[in-house]
């Protein structure tokens, strides 16, 4: 137990130091600014998630060999993390600059995406051979692309423009968007649990994960809008979209985010 804690904290410390060294220029944005500090906190969560997987999935009992595989998976995982962050910045264009201007809505959305990347990465980035490393990298890339695709589909379905609302500082929209992003990451990560059994089982599991993710839309419209908010049922738009997009109701945004997370936590516990 103590050895696991020591190795885990050591791995987290190395990842955090590496992150700080690579972001030396960006660190100047953190001083005295809430938005960049929120993003830094999200990065800390993501890197700790990765460190936890390294210390639990890369060990077999030989300390020297364990450290070698932890280092290799850690470096590859960190590189994948940075690549995914850049992919996310493209899909959330403009929000990074808004975060530097202390737009907390933009920072919330990007922070949630950062944590989602950490969830997907931590779910696969562990092992003790080259085949496991290749499978981990491929699984993560597919998972990240799946996340971006499903989030984009949800953004089309909402009656308001998510990005425009977050750019204008609508925290309610950011909370709903962030809750959805993390919830989808949890559901998609579930598809990568267990050993790689071949191409067809992997594709089947991802198809199920995407279907489970898309089911969150009718749950949003029925469970949140009708049952909880007691509004009229609609396939699209409705009271929930008006509360978030027109009135900026932070409570409604938090309620939607909480519902997504509750459903995701329920799904990942199913056998």
pLDDT at 4: 75
What's the mean per-residue pLDDT of the chain? 81
Bin 44: left if φ > 0, else alpha if -120 < ψ < 50, else beta: alpha
Binned at pLDDT 50, 70 and 90, residue 30 comes out as low
Q: Residues 6 or more apart from 222 whose CB is under 8 A from it?
A: 233
Q: Which of 28-37, 54-63, 161-170 has the highest mean pLDDT?
A: 161-170
Instruction: Tell me: pLDDT of 29 over 60.
Output: no
Residue 160: strand, helix, or coil = coil
- Region 10-17 average pLDDT: 86
- Region 196-204 average pLDDT: 61
pLDDT tens string 57-115 = 887 777 788 788 888 888 998 999 988 888 776 667 778 778 778 888 889 999 999 99
In a 10 Å sphere around its CB, with 0-12 CB exposed, 13-18 middle and 19+ buried, how is residue 209 labelled?
A: buried
Bin 249: left if φ > 0, else alpha if -120 < ψ < 50, else beta: beta
Residue 245, token pair as written in the block: 């997009």
- Region 213-226 average pLDDT: 76
The lowest-confidence range among 89-103, 111-125, 141-155, 179-193 is: 89-103
Angstrom CA distances, 58 to 65, 129, 233, stand at 9, 9, 49
The lowest-confidence range among 60-74, 140-154, 181-195, 203-217 is: 203-217
Q: Of 222, 266, 264, nearest to 240 (Cα)?
A: 222
pLDDT at 42: 92
pLDDT at 55: 87
pLDDT tens string 99-130 = 778 888 889 999 999 999 999 998 888 778 78
Instruction: Tell me: pLDDT of 139 over 70.
Output: yes
| pTM of this structure | 0.87
pLDDT at 47: 93
DSSP line for 26-61: GGGGTTT-HHHHHHHHHHHHHHHHHHHHHHHHS-SS
pLDDT tens string 236-264 = 777 888 888 888 889 888 988 988 898 88
Do residues 4 and 55 touch, judged by C-beta distance below 8 A? yes
pLDDT tens string 44-55 = 999 999 998 888
Q: Which has more pLDDT, 210 or 129?
A: 129
């Amino acid at each position: 137990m103590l050895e696991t804690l020591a190795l885990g904290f050591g791995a987290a410390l190395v990842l955090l130091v590496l992150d700080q060294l690579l972001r030396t220029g960006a660190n100047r944005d953190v001083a005295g600014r809430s938005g960049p500090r929120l993003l830094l906190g999200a990065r800390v969560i993501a890197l700790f998630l990765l460190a936890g997987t390294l210390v639990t999935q890369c060990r077999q009992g030989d300390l020297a060999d364990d450290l070698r595989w932890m280092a290799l998976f850690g470096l590859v995982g960190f590189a994948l993390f940075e690549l995914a962050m850049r992919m996310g910045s493209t899909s959330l264009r403009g929000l990074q600059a808004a975060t530097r201007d202390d737009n907390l809505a933009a920072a919330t959305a990007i922070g949630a995406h950062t944590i989602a990347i950490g969830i997907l990465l931590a779910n696969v980035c562990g092992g003790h051979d080259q085949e496991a490393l290749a499978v981990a990298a491929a699984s993560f890339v597919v998972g990240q692309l799946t996340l971006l695709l499903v989030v984009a589909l949800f953004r089309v379905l909402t009656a308001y423009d998510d990005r425009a609302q977050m750019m204008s500082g609508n925290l309610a929209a950011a909370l709903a968007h962030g809750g959805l992003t993390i919830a989808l990451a949890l559901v998609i990560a579930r598809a990568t649990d267990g050993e790689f059994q071949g191409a067809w089982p992997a594709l089947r599991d991802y198809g199920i994960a995407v279907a489970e993710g898309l089911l969150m839309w009718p749950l949003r419209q029925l469970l949140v809008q009708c049952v909880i908010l007691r509004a009229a049922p609609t396939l699209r738009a409705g009271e929930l979209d008006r509360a978030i997009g027109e009135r900026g109701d932070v409570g409604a945004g938090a309620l939607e985010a909480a519902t997504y997370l509750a459903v995701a936590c329920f799904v990942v516990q199913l056998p």
